[in-house]
Amino acid sequence: MSVVVVGAGPSGLAAACALRLHGVPVRVVDAAPAPATTSRALGLQPRGSEVLERLGALGDLPARAVGIRRVIVHVGGRRSGELLVGHPTALVRRPGLLVSQAEVEAGLRARLADLGVRVEWDTAVTGLDQDGRRVTLTTSAGPVATDWVIGCDGAHSAVRKAAGIDFPGVALVEGFVLGDVRTDMPVPRDSVGVWVRGGEMFAAFPLPGGVWRFMAPAPGTSVQDVPEFLTRAAHRHAGARVPAGESWLWVSVFRIHRRLASTYRRGRILLAGDAAHIHSPFGGQGMNTGLGDAENLAWRLALVASGRAGKRLLDGYEAERRPVAEEVLGATSGLTGLVLGESQAARLVRDRVLFPLLGLRPVEKLIWEQASQLKASYARSPFGRRPRVGDRVPEFAAADRFGWTLVSPRDEDCAAVARDLLGDARHVHRDGDALLVRPDGHLAWRGKPEPAALRRALAVMLDR
């Protein structure tokens, strides 16, 4: 059984790494002629770092990234509030990082190369056909036959279009500009600066190497005019002067959309990342949501591709990840409307009520833990003893290992069942209930440490 991943962004590369770690043959193709060098997404939330760590692709990224400790908000040029986002909590033990998406992709490509796979560049997908047993991709490099296809090829996904999957949604902001420039700003390098003035907004994010990313709404602005527009915005809102000769590393004009695929799967075609959902960049959730998709899908597809599980196991992918995307789409859309102040009344509430509340410790904790994505749970009921099936199990989630973990007494009989039905599984000795932790760090099963009970539970889960 083989898998072709279309798209060599973070989601596609993470999915490919996870599949290879479970022994599944993988090819990765991408329409681009070479790896991207621009930063695009830049926020790596704690959950995203955890995923990379499990895949063995985190490396020295935390040391090279900018650790964010606060978001400083200014209203009408005056400092109004400060949201602390770097303080450890019982849930979140690592900071959010600002680092180029290109750096994240480079780490994942290196890890994938270690696992024996290299990206096939300049290979655009132009069509596909599936017959229930195989998928044939039509590409610019010739036909490619495989058992499964994962479309991770972004908002304009050729895979999604060829599979006939709808992508309904709306435009939230018609014109937005951003640019990366090497300059100085009047806020600390461990801070994100946000300035609002009526219906105007300007934001600055620190990146490694003395670079700042500027971002602002600017309907009707052309790409060539972005440096001048952002230079004026930085001076008007932040009092910062960007010298005329400063080095602009990258500029872009885009619209903010909110879209969600009508389904994540059609036969042997599956979607992940921006191919399945796109939303506002406010809150830095995009790349991290895609990484979560990738690892959730990968362990399921690895079991199906190896013949250890029936196809019904894949139904759990959309059942678990679509609600996460819906929540992210709703939260980021709301945050966008809040920051941009869509009406005079909304701006009044934003400036006089919401921004000043950011400094309250309970508010800080709530926002930071939600943004970290570590609160995500797939438990079907709010009741029951923790951890519940579907809950993240922190002590086994943050580990340099993408594999199954069985927690049970020293008796090896349960471990033998896990290895028989799942393949490689680590056995951690501990008295009490037996816990089976999925490769993505969430609980798959708990019960008495009896081999027969575990075998019955896995037979149901694996559709055997």
Q: Rounded to two decimals, what is the model's pTM? A: 0.94
Instruction: Report pLDDT for 137.
Output: 97
CATH class of 394-461: alpha beta
85 vs 4, higher pLDDT: 4
- Reading phi first (left if > 0) and then psi (alpha if -120 to 50, else beta), residue 172 is in alpha
- 136 φ, ψ to 5°? -115, 120
37 vs 57, higher pLDDT: 57
Instruction: Report pLDDT for 174.
Output: 66
Domain range list for the chain:
3-67+94-169+258-372, 170-255, 394-461
Does the structure show a pLDDT above 90 at 286? Answer: no
For the chain, percent helix, then strand, then coil, each to nearest 5? 35, 25, 35
The CB density around residue 111, as the number of other CB atoms within 10 Å, is 22
CA nearest to 117, candidates 220, 214, 3, 40: 3
Does the structure show a pLDDT above 80 at 86? Answer: no
Query: Who's near 21: CB < 8 A, 6+ residues apart?
Result: 55, 56, 115, 402, 403
Q: What is the DSSP string of 306-348?
A: TTSS-GGGGHHHHHHHHHHHHHHHHHHHHHHHHHHTSSHHHHH
Query: Who's near 231: CB < 8 A, 6+ residues apart?
Result: 242, 244
Does the structure show a pLDDT above 80 at 343? Answer: no
| pLDDT tens digits, 224-245 | 999 999 999 999 999 999 987 7
Cis peptide before 394 (omega within 30 of 0): no
Task: Estimate to the nearest angstrom the gap between the alpha carbon of 92 and the chain centroid.
Answer: 17
Instruction: Report pLDDT for 337.
Output: 77
- Torsion sign (Cα): 226, 231, 232, 238: positive
Does the structure show a pLDDT above 80 at 453? Answer: yes
Does the structure show a pLDDT above 70 at 143? Answer: yes
| pLDDT tens digits, 23-55 | 999 999 999 999 988 777 888 999 999 999 999
Average pLDDT over residues 426-447: 95
Does the structure show a pLDDT above 70 at 306? Answer: yes
pLDDT > 70 fraction of the chain, expressed in percent and rounded: 99
Average pLDDT over residues 457-463: 94
User: Out of 2.30.30.60, 3.40.50.2300, 3.40.50.2000, 3.30.70.2450, which CATH number does the structure's domain 170-255 have?
Assistant: 3.30.70.2450
Average pLDDT over residues 291-306: 97
- Indicate the average pLDDT of the chain: 92
Domain 3-67+94-169+258-372 listed as CATH 3.50.50.60:
yes
Does the structure show a pLDDT above 80 at 15? Answer: yes
- Reported as a pLDDT band with limits 50, 70 and 90, residue 356 is confident
The bridge status of strand 135-139 relative to strand 125-130 is antiparallel
Helix (H, G, I), strand (E, B) or coil at 69: coil
Cβ contact 451:413 at 8 Å: yes
Which segment of 219-223, 389-393, 451-455 scores lowest on mean pLDDT? Answer: 219-223
pLDDT > 90 fraction of the chain, expressed in percent and rounded: 67
The structure tokens listed for 409 are: 């007494």
Does the structure show a pLDDT above 90 at 317? Answer: yes
| pLDDT tens digits, 389-425 | 999 999 888 778 899 999 999 888 999 999 999 998 9
Query: Who's near 172: CB < 8 A, 6+ residues apart?
Result: 256, 257, 258, 280, 333, 336, 337
Instruction: Report pLDDT for 319.
Output: 97
Does the structure show a pLDDT above 70 at 197? Answer: yes
| pLDDT tens digits, 204-216 | 999 998 999 999 9
Instruction: Report pLDDT for 37.
Output: 83
